[in-house]
Structure 1
Amino acid sequence: MRSLALLALALICLPVTAAAVTPREPARVAPGPTCLDARGLRDMNQTDADSVTVLDADQQPWRVHFQSACPGVDDAADAVLEAPSGWACGGPRERVRIDGRHCPIASVARIDAREFAAEAKLSDARTVKSLPTVQVQAASETGSRFRASPAYCFSARALRSWSEDPDGIKVETNPKQSGGNRYYRVELGTYCPEVTNAPEIAFRSGFGNGLICGNPGDRIIASQALPGDLRRQSNPRNYLGCAVMAVYPVR
């Protein structure tokens, strides 16, 4: 009798429990393979007047081409991608609104993380404003010319692990310290036998700020000497490692 009573109670409570569950919103489906979700864009950069690069809510990079030249996106106080359906596919009435003026969109195309990182880095370098002339003691002038972005930088302190694959060096970082990115591709200027199969590696920031962005002086080094490496054994200071040329997030 007790079991029957419990079963009846469960059946009575079941509809109430089911009714209390909020239905999950259906996933948004793009109307075409080259349609950008205009909601929740994370970043927008411009290096030429004919287009901008954007990062969508899922951190996928895109290039948006204008119907005609539309400069000034990086200098604008307000830049918004407007699409009536919420998807930008290069159709009518899709535009980028820049401080009250409108730039109609001609087309939208996916790009890779490497291209987006290069555009973001160049855009940031071009838009850093110069301060009035001041006198500073023992400070680096070069370091102030670049802004750090998780689109093309990671913190050497956030490094968790690294591996080699056919495309080069892949590092794992702490996503909380890397703008939500867990993995980065590190491209080197030349083949680096000192690092290949090294037991441990480390990164050295050229600006001394702990950030690795492919800036001048950024290097990857083997933190332990390989057997037979007489340069490290004779004088560790002679070992400079290999130059880092580009950094960008990968999945």
Structure 2
Amino acid sequence: MVLLPEDRSLPTGFVPETPPQQPAEAKDAATVVLLRNGTTGLEVFLQRRVKGMPFAGGMTVFPGGGVDQRDADTSVAWSGPDAQWWAARFDCSPELARALVCAAVRETFEESGVLLAGPDTATVVGETSRYAEARAAMVARNLSLAEFLADERLVLRADLLRPWANWLTPEREPRRYDTRFFLAAMPEGQRADAVTTEAAEAYWATPEQALADFAEGRCHLLPPTRITLDELVECGSMAAALAAERTLGKISPKLVRRNGRWHVVMPGEPGFEEAN
């Protein structure tokens, strides 16, 4: 059972029937929407998560994950907008902003092999298979992003990321994330892969095709993913998406029970104030 485009219903069993006594604390997280120019236009990199994952199992998503404590390491060599700039965009502290950018770079590398870093402030690494051992060590939490970049004498390229959105999981859900969405163009010479235990498959698709797959039941999308794809369709091109000026408010949907299923209600929509 999948999300229905017309009513944003959630899959059966996705939300527990008994609400938590207290809302779970939302964990800070980062998601990166990788873009490239394909043969038919703008394409995005998507991953179908393994069924049974604690969060969003079976869903088709963009690469991303929770902020690690070590993502706040200030020793990371950095190029591009500083932490203060990112803090202003995401309305958070500079310390958290720095950790979010580092988490975005780390998670993208761990989950797709795409590395937004280079030997200096003007270049990006090419083919990344030579870092496979370090990538595995980072996934196992035996190596931090800061240690990896220092070992390889690489600079994090924060200028390759663009702030896009901030989504907060509804209070009724047992696992909650305060997720900042970023855009990034696929670096030339690199390839995105499916070498991760968290994804059953990974592929490139136009936003239009991904939305058609969703509408016809071929993939499962949560509202943040679907709405981001809709927004990219409106942009029309990678250049326009990367150049878009975004006003980033925290989007905090709620859940309402209708006809035996849970539905996502967005701020400002009918029933939002009465929803859980």
For Structure 1 versus Structure 2, the TM-score category normalised by the shorter chain is under 0.3
Structure having the higher strand fraction is 1
Greater helix share, structure number: 2
User: Quick one: higher RCO (CA 8 Å, sep 6+), 1 or 2?
Assistant: 2
